[in-house]
């Protein structure tokens, strides 16, 4: 790979995955390594922040070296370093941010501050190239649920977000109360295939007329109440039916709100991303409804739905083109939000 190519090193440590990637021209993945900490956090039923930061620190340098070797690059071949600076766990983010700053300083490279949620949105640009604007983007992960109208790169309006739990978070919490392990999304996704999604009529929170916000805490309580009631009555809980009915309630609201947002904004393109975008029922339902209504739907391959650094490098590429660089006093911002820029 020659110097005339724009090559971004992406670094991602916002939660429990340490990830490093090298991406050329915002499209070509030269290397994408994700070191999962699932084994460390599984027995606690969720991510333990201190444990996550320590593991990031232990492996980040070796992971960068490995990615550089895999891509057969020297630091002098790089154009810039893009790093997730929020949102996420502060201690975890700091490992990535400090590492990226140190590298940028010693290698005389520009530093690019990447919003993790934008990273998820850009997994689609990475996978499919330039999507037709304007578009409506649904981002659903363990920490975030956002509906965004995107007019162009760097020009967006935040239409809705969750008012309580994120979509992935409820999958994880329900799985934990069913003692199904962590993360809960993939387990519930699989179990649901054997269950009846119409078995239990769990509530759907559509909120006020015209609202694009989400709320999943009522659904979470309804599922937990159902479980407790069954236990008190001494009745056996049909886990696949419960999983499928819960999943159906989440998917229906996500799909309906996304279609309403696309209709109201008059766009023809919809994109779906984030860890929960790996959910088979969500992919299928949105695909079917989007097709019926004539929308073009884009979602990333499974490997780019959950956290990775290639998506971070892809955002870095577009920021590089706009010369949107950060200074070396960049700090981690755990509560970073997406901000409307229209």
The residues of the shown chain that bind ligand KG4, judged by CB under 6 A, are: 15, 141-143, 168-169, 171-172, 183-186, 189, 274-276, 278-279, 306-307
Residue with structure tokens 């992406």? 10
Please choose, from the candidates 51, 48, 46, 60, the residue with its C-alpha nearest in 3D space to the C-alpha of residue 18: 60
Please count the residues of this chain forming the interface with Zn ion, following the rule CB under 5 A: 2
> 118 vs 307, which CB is nearer to ligand KG4?
307
Instruction: Say if residues 226 and 242 touch (Cβ distance below 8 Å).
Output: yes
In whole angstroms, how close is the CB of 160 to ligand KG4 at the nearest point? 18
Q: Give the one entry of ligand KG4, Zn ion, none that residue 271 binds, where binding means its C-beta sits below a cut-off of 5 to 8 angstroms depending on kind.
A: none
Q: Give the one entry of Zn ion, ligand KG4, none that residue 185 binds, where binding means its C-beta sits below a cut-off of 5 to 8 angstroms depending on kind.
A: ligand KG4
Please choose, from the candidates 250, 236, 254, 123, the residue with its C-alpha nearest in 3D space to the C-alpha of residue 188: 250
Residue with structure tokens 């299928």? 284
DSSP three-state, residue 184: helix
Beta strand 80-86 with 7-12 is parallel
DSSP three-state, residue 338: coil
DSSP single-letter state for residue 214: B
> 131 vs 188, which CB is nearer to ligand KG4?
188
Footprint on residues 57-96 left by Zn ion (CB under 5 A): none
Stretch that binds Zn ion, among 147-155, 203-211, 257-265, 300-308 (CB under 5 A): 300-308
In whole angstroms, how close is the CB of 116 to Zn ion at the nearest point? 6
In whole angstroms, how close is the CB of 119 to Zn ion at the nearest point? 7
Q: Does 141 bind Zn ion (CB under 5 A)?
A: yes
> 245 vs 306, which CB is nearer to Zn ion?
306
Q: Does 307 bind Zn ion (CB under 5 A)?
A: yes
CA distances from 80 to 40, 97, 174, 331 (A): 32, 14, 41, 18
Please choose, from the candidates 148, 154, 141, 152, the residue with its C-alpha nearest in 3D space to the C-alpha of residue 112: 154
In whole angstroms, how close is the CB of 192 to Zn ion at the nearest point? 22
| Chain Cα centroid distance, residue 187 | 18
CA distances from 257 to 23, 80, 340 (A): 33, 37, 19
In whole angstroms, how close is the CB of 253 to ligand KG4 at the nearest point? 14
Stretch that binds Zn ion, among 57-65, 92-100, 136-144, 188-196 (CB under 5 A): 136-144
Q: Does 241 bind Zn ion (CB under 5 A)?
A: no
Residues that bind Zn ion (CB under 5 A): 141, 307
């Amino acid at each position: 790979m020659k110097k005339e190519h724009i090559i971004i090193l992406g670094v991602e440590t916002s939660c429990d995955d340490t990830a490093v990637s090298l991406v050329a021209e915002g499209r070509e993945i030269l290397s994408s390594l994700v070191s999962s900490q699932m084994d460390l956090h599984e027995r606690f039923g969720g991510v333990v922040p201190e444990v996550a930061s320590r593991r990031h620190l232990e492996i980040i340098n070796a992971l960068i070296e490995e990615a550089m070797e895999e891509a057969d690059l020297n630091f002098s071949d790089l154009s810039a370093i893009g790093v997730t600076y929020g949102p996420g766990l502060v201690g975890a983010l700091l490992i990535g941010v400090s590492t990226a700053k140190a590298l940028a300083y010693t290698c005389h490279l520009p530093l690019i501050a990447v919003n993790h949620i934008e990273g998820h949105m850009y997994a689609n640009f990475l996978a499919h190239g330039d999507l037709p604007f304007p578009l409506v983007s649904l981002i659903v992960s363990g920490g975030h649920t956002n509906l965004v109208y995107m007019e162009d790169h760097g020009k967006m309006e935040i239409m809705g977000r969750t008012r309580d739990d994120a979509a992935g978070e409820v999958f994880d919490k329900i799985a934990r109360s069913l003692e199904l392990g962590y993360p809960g999304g993939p387990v519930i996704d699989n179990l649901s295939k054997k269950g009846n999604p119409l078995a239990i009529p769990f509530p759907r929170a559509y909120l006020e007329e015209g609202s694009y916000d989400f709320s999943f805490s009522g659904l979470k309580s309804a599922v937990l109440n159902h479980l407790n009631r069954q236990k008190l009555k001494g009745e056996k809980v049909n886990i696949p039916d419960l999983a499928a009915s819960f999943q159906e309630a989440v998917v229906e609201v996500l799909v309906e709100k996304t279609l309403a947002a696309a209709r109201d904004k008059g766009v023809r393109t919809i994109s779906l991303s984030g860890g929960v975008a790996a959910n088979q029922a969500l992919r299928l339902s949105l695909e079917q409804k989007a097709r019926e209504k004539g929308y073009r739907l884009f979602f990333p391959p499974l490997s780019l739905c959950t956290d990775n650094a290639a998506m971070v490098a892809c955002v870095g590429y577009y920021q590089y083109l706009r010369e949107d660089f950060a200074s070396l006093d960049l700090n981690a911002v755990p509560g970073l939000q997406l901000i409307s820029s229209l």
